[in-house]
Amino acid sequence: QVRLVESGGGSVQAGGSLRLSCKVSGYIGDSYRMAWFRQTPGKEREGVASVNLRGGIPYYSNSAKGRFTASQESATNTLYLQMGSLKPEDTAQYYCAAGFHGPSSEFRALQGDSYNYWGQGTQVTVSP
């Protein structure tokens, strides 16, 4: 059984930083590509960053480039998202996803329907 458990969310003032973690357990399939997504009520889910759990170059959304860093720790099957220079518009529920399927591309790595498994999410709130 696949389980993804996010942690590290919280409240922070604009300009601050947070680090999210996602612990993975179970067999996620042939691909080790994973991703971070975020969603606020009334808005579509947005892919933020994607990284291969076994290493490689991360992909980022335009909103995340230069401020967020995705990384992984293969030994513990943990995915991280270091977020800096946070803005109020970064406020959202953040989810990690695994079980990537289909043709591999940077575009598809940040699409929600490319993944089979999802964590429960962790809330990030950024105040002005």
Residue 109 parent element (H or E): helix 106-109
Q: What is the DSSP letter of 103?
A: S
**pLDDT band at residue 29 under the 50/70/90 scheme:** confident
| Predicted confidence (pLDDT) at residue 48 exceeds the cutoff of 90 | yes
Please state the rounded mean pLDDT for residues 39-60. Answer: 93
**pLDDT band at residue 53 under the 50/70/90 scheme:** confident
Please state the rounded mean pLDDT for residues 43-48. Answer: 96
| Predicted confidence (pLDDT) at residue 31 exceeds the cutoff of 90 | no
Per-residue exposure over 68-98, b if at least 16 CB sit within 10 Å of its own CB, e if not: bbbebeeeebbbbbebeebeeebbbbbbbbb
